[in-house]
Amino acid sequence: MNTTTLAAGTTGRPTEQDWAAAVNAVRSGLRPGARVLLVCHVNPDGDALGSMLGFAQGLRKLGVTSLQCTFPGALSVPEPLHMPAMDLLIPEGAADPAPDLLVTFDAASESRLGALVDRLETATVSLVLDHHASNTGFGKVSLVDPCAAATSVVAAELLRRLDVPLDREMAECLYIALVTDTGSFKFDLTTPEVHELAARLVAAGIDVGAISRRIFDSRPFGAVRMFGEVMGRAQLEPESAGGRGLVYAVATLDDLAKHQQPPYVLEALIDSVRCVAEADVALLLKQVAPAEWAVSMRSKGGADVSRIAVELGGGGHRLAAGFTGHGTAEQIIDAVRGRLAAQF
Ligand code: 5GP
Ligand code: MN
């Protein structure tokens, strides 16, 4: 595959040449009649959806009329992540089989594109926008900045280079992406560049308080009670991770059923697990089928959880990563425990 920029495993930021290649890739999608398909990763989070829908609105401003946005799997977006431009979302089955331009968002590997992965071959031009250090270097043109706090930082910079003016709705999508991936501007990659972008987005007229309340500070009563029960069963292993400590919690389908909660409410639970002071590493297992678990991992700096996630078939960042685990909860915890021990 003719990859123009970062090779797998490099830590380099995009060069001016890389930005120019990305600008050219987008321009190929601006020709009259061009069909553009935007795809973000499966089970999209705020950054995946927000960077895609923010960028989509920018493309509309540039005159793109044939524009589809989608992601693999069922077309449902958790309520806290509802945002402008969701009318552009179409089911994956309706996605153009051979678009003129394909742009992917926040996907670190081809597997994150599910059944839409074939568009990397069928699209005339494919552009990958991402910020995962574990990005495998797919796509004809790839713009991956492992130092960017969110894919929306990359998307916003590309829009700026294309001279697209920000409006409120575009800014809301890009802000949701930024605020979710930085944990409300608290995580380590919260650089001056992040705050400068946030300032531009806020200046476009978004309602920061309302967005924060909707995304972070609002939860059904049943979810609050369920969180309490799951956290009540959490386990701390001070000797794990070479003595740096591991804390883990397990949320089952029974927990969801008992409290009549949809699975997405569990996305916020890792934040309660990771604040345990005695542990460098936090682990949350979210059951999605009898022997299948969505696993979230966080590190405070001692462990590289991205390495463990990649070894177990997933990906992510050094301090925040995940994978899909198969088997019993104890088997998965054991697998992580062993790989953690091997890091020290
Ligand atoms: P979270 O724990 O919040 O779901 O995800 C943390 C980070 O790990 C995100 O950057 C996310 O993209 C990545 N991640 C989570 N689950 C998976 C997975 O199953 N596969 C891959 N490749 N990355 C994942
Ligand atoms: Mn992201």
Q: What is the pLDDT of residues 277-324, one digit of tens each?
A: 999 999 999 999 999 999 999 999 999 999 999 999 999 999 999 999
Residue minimizing CA distance to atom 9 of ligand 1: 316
Name the pLDDT band for 248 (thresholds 50, 70, 90): very high
Q: Angle formed by the axes of helices 192-203 and 168-181, to 10°?
A: 150
Q: Give the residue-averaged pLDDT of 185-200.
A: 96
Quick count: other Cβ atoms within 10 Å of Cβ 269?
19
**pTM, entire model:** 0.94
Confidence at residue 11, expressed as pLDDT on a 0 to 100 scale: 54
Q: Which residue has the tokens 């001056």?
A: 192
Helix (H), strand (E) at residue 234: none
Confidence at residue 2, expressed as pLDDT on a 0 to 100 scale: 36
Residue minimizing CA distance to atom 6 of ligand 1: 321
**In angstroms, rounded to a whole number, what is the distance separating the alpha carbons of residues 285 and 323?**
10
Mutate-to-test residue for ligand 1 from 41, 42, 45, highest number of ligand atoms within 8 A of CB: 45
Residue minimizing CA distance to atom 8 of ligand 1: 321
Residue 47 CA, ligand 2 centroid: distance in Å:
5
| For the chain, percent of residues with pLDDT exceeding 90 | 97
Q: Is the pLDDT of residue 6 over 70?
A: no
Report which bound ligand comes closest to the CA of 51: 2
At 336, give phi and psi (nearest 5°).
Answer: -70, -45
At 70, give phi and psi (nearest 5°).
Answer: -160, 175
Per domain, the residue ranges of the chain are 16-216, 221-343
Q: Which residues contact 214 (CB under 8 A, 6 or more apart)?
A: 80, 82
Q: Which residue has the tokens 């069909």?
A: 35
Domain 16-216 is found in CATH 1.10.10.10:
no
Q: Evaluate: CB of 316 within 6 angstroms of ligand 1.
A: yes
Mutate-to-test residue for ligand 1 from 47, 106, 112, highest number of ligand atoms within 8 A of CB: 112
Q: Judging by DSSP bridges, how do beta strands 292-299 and 281-289 pair with one another?
A: antiparallel
Name the pLDDT band for 134 (thresholds 50, 70, 90): very high
At 106, give phi and psi (nearest 5°).
Answer: 65, 15
The tokens describing 217, both together, are 């500070």
pLDDT in tens, 54-74: 999 999 999 999 999 999 999
Residue 176 CA, ligand 2 centroid: distance in Å:
11
**In angstroms, rounded to a whole number, what is the distance separating the alpha carbons of residues 142 and 111?**
16
Closest CA to 250 of 269, 223, 222: 269
Residue 247 CA, ligand 1 centroid: distance in Å:
18
Confidence at residue 144, expressed as pLDDT on a 0 to 100 scale: 98
Reduce the DSSP state of residue 101 to 3 states and report it: strand
The tokens describing 302, both together, are 């001692």
Mean pLDDT (the chain, rounded): 96
Confidence at residue 12, expressed as pLDDT on a 0 to 100 scale: 86
CATH of 221-343, one of 3.30.70.980, 2.40.50.140, 3.50.50.60, 3.10.310.30: 3.10.310.30
Q: Evaluate: CB of 274 within 6 angstroms of ligand 1.
A: no
Name the pLDDT band for 3 (thresholds 50, 70, 90): very low
